Structure 1
Amino acid sequence: MALLDDVKRELSQIDGELLAAKQAQATAMIRFGGGLRLIQRQIMVQAQFDSYEAALWLQNTIHTLYGHDAAITEVDRPTPMGGSITRYVVHVERGGAALALQTGLLDRRKHVVMGLPNEVTSGNISQVKAAWRGAFLAHGDLSEPGKASYLEIVCPTQDAAVSLTTAARRLGISAKPRQVRSSERVTLKDPDAIERMLLLMGAPQSAREWTGKRSDGEARGKANRLANFDDANMRRSAKAAAEAGKKVRHAFEVLGDEIPENLRAAGQLRLDHPDASLEQLGRLADPPITKDAVAGRIRRLLQLSDKTEKARQQAGA
């Protein structure tokens, strides 16, 4: 959660955007944060956030940009684990219908726009970026970098998911809408796409932090894979050496004194150094020999033992 909090804090501090971009961000924050409520035939604008900075940004923007007063209410929500989480609800009770018309969430026929207004998704690129920023501030989530990296936004309606997917396409990013437990979501899973979206939304510092953690995680994963690979190789080598020692011991019992000296020396090295590799056995030989020479001599020793044992069995028959 720490990285997610950092991203939302960084996005909430963006200032100096063009008027159209601010409007697009405010519209997206209202749509993805909750939208419009009809209470006693009056339209009330209400949006909920997990970031106080995001709620404060929207409150200030509603006042300075649209001339309406908005209040922030702190609400504690229970969690499935028995704890609670704090949410910040921005609501406009007076002038809600006028604000909905100003943001484009009500069309000229007074119909509720279930996605994002067309002037936002088809606007200039700064508006499209701001729409994604607003949606993320309202209901976005970001994984810690790892095997299952994702950037995801929970959408209030299917139309909202389609709007967000269209906006991502205009930014050159492929985002996939999907349904999870009856909720609509838009998800990015490609790490490069996630990094680029963070940059486009306006969170370069968080993008660098996310990428750094991702690189560290990949490096640790590679190191772990190499360590596991080495462990597996060591186990296989130890098993092969133990089996070779058992066969050499049997060959000595079968052949007795009838063993050529070079083969006996190679076999004895294996018995004396059961955990050593063939290369190490070669260095221990007097004079030193190659690992291929060690392997060849042990192989001929075992072949001679097998041949002798079979001959004795046939003679006994």
Structure 2
Amino acid sequence: MQELIQSFGIDAKIVKRKKYEVVYVKEGAQIVELLGLMGAGVSLMNLENVRILKGMRNTVNRKVNCETANINKTVNAAVKQVDDIIYIRDTVGLHRLPENLEETALLRLEYPQASLKELGSLLSAPVGKSGINHRLRKICSIAEQLRGFKEEQV
């Protein structure tokens, strides 16, 4: 049986199960080909339907996992930004920041759930995602400097 299947270019293997030898084909495409050669059209279509459904589920799961990871990353970044802004506010006051950073900080506190694009559009002089990201990184850097300065004082 294995030799016959292999004569069609299909990679068939044998495994011993209790007192029987079982011939099997591992690759899905080769199973479909073998079912076609055997004239098992209904089984071939059922298998293809299962493979398509499984492929669609896997694609959806990958997309959901990717979106979830992106959302988690965004939420974590926003939480850190808010923490840094509160630290600056409580340490030296937001009024000590340059005007553009102060406005950005106040907006982030007011809209902690907002995306970078949304925050940028809320500014008095709107900026893009890159610009708002640059400002928030600068605020983070200032907070880190203040934390380092405080540790040196202790």
Q: How many residues align?
A: 153
**Deviation, structure 1 residue 308:** 4.9
One-letter identity of the residue aligned with 2:76: K
- Counterpart Cα distance in 1 of 2:147 and 2:64: 42
Partner of 2:113: 275
Q: Give the secondary-structure state (helix, strand or coil) at the position aligned to 1:297.
A: helix
**Deviation, structure 1 residue 187:** 0.8
Partner of 2:16: 179
- Counterpart Cα distance in 1 of 2:19 and 2:74: 53
State the Cα RMSD in Å.
Answer: 2.2
One-letter identity of the residue aligned with 1:266: T
- Counterpart Cα distance in 2 of 1:250 and 1:227: 34
Choose between structure 1 and 2: higher helix proportion.
Answer: 2
- Counterpart Cα distance in 2 of 1:303 and 1:247: 9
**Deviation, structure 1 residue 169:** 1.2
- Counterpart Cα distance in 2 of 1:313 and 1:235: 30
One-letter identity of the residue aligned with 1:184: E
Identify which of 114, 119, 135 aligns with 1:297. 135
Partner of 1:165: 2
CA shift in 2, pair 1:214/1:310, >3 Å: closer
**Deviation, structure 1 residue 311:** 5.2
Larger radius of gyration: 1
1:231 and 2:68 are equivalent in the alignment: yes
Partner of 1:220: 57
Identify which of 193, 199, 205 aligns with 2:30. 193
Q: Where do 5+ consecutive residues of structure 1 fail to align?
A: 1-163
CA shift in 2, pair 1:175/1:313, >3 Å: closer
Q: TM-score, normalised by structure 1?
A: 0.44
Q: Give the secondary-structure state (helix, strand or coil) at the position aligned to 2:96.
A: coil
One-letter identity of the residue aligned with 2:49: G
